[in-house]
Amino acid sequence: MPDTDTPTYRRAVIALNGGSSDERIVRLVVALGTKDVELIAVHVVEIDWTLPLDADIAGRSEEVQQVLDTAEGIAEQRKMRMEPVLLQARDVGAAIVDEATERDADLLVVGLPYRKRFGGEFAIGRTVPYILQNAPCAVWVVREPMSEEPS
């Protein structure tokens, strides 16, 4: 068992995707943190190639802002500071890993909805494997329960 006095993490990057897992992972990270930890909530908006990367997409969307606001609200209830970061990128996984690297985070938390591919195979997507392979820090992947997102 780890020493209970050692904090679980100091600086965590929480990757939000706007789905149902966001609230779950924010609550988890908040619950396991102490007052002096740093929380960075990152929401990446993927921009497809038909638009330039700096196209005004994320700033305009209420929905996108809401993702970060909800996370901040949860942190606030526990009197914890959270820095919201909104990014536009071509690839979500690479943008999240870059952010965690730049911030020198010691924890990266990402949610994973339970989905199945056509044909019934479990689908992990491409973002989570990319993060697992490339993140420099510890990574927590929180998979959603099977029942919550039927496909």
* Count of residues engaged in binding another protein, rule: CB under 8 A: 11
| Residue 53 lies near another protein (rule: CB under 8 A) | yes
76, two tokens: 């606030």
Spell out the residues 6+ positions from residue 140 whose beta carbon is closer than 8 angstroms to its own. Answer: 25, 28, 107, 108, 109, 110
| Residue 91 lies near another protein (rule: CB under 8 A) | yes
Strand pairing category for 11-16 and 138-143? unpaired
| Residue 50 lies near another protein (rule: CB under 8 A) | yes
Cβ 124 to another protein shortest distance, Å: 15
Which of 60, 78, 81, 90 is the binder for another protein (CB under 8 A)? 90
| Residue 49 lies near another protein (rule: CB under 8 A) | yes
Applying CB under 8 A, the span of 1-9, 48-56, 115-123, 141-149 interacting with another protein comes to 48-56
Amino acid at site 72 = E
Q: Which 8-state DSSP code applies to residue 145?
A: P
Nearer to another protein, 5 or 48 (CB): 48
Strands, E, within the chain: which ranges? 11-16, 38-46, 82-89, 107-112, 115-116, 122-123, 138-143
Tabulate helix, strand, coil % of the chain (nearest 5): 35, 25, 40
| Residue 6 lies near another protein (rule: CB under 8 A) | no
Which of 89, 124, 132, 141 is the binder for another protein (CB under 8 A)? 89
| Residue 102 lies near another protein (rule: CB under 8 A) | no
Which residues are near another protein by CB under 8 A?
48-53, 89-91, 94-95
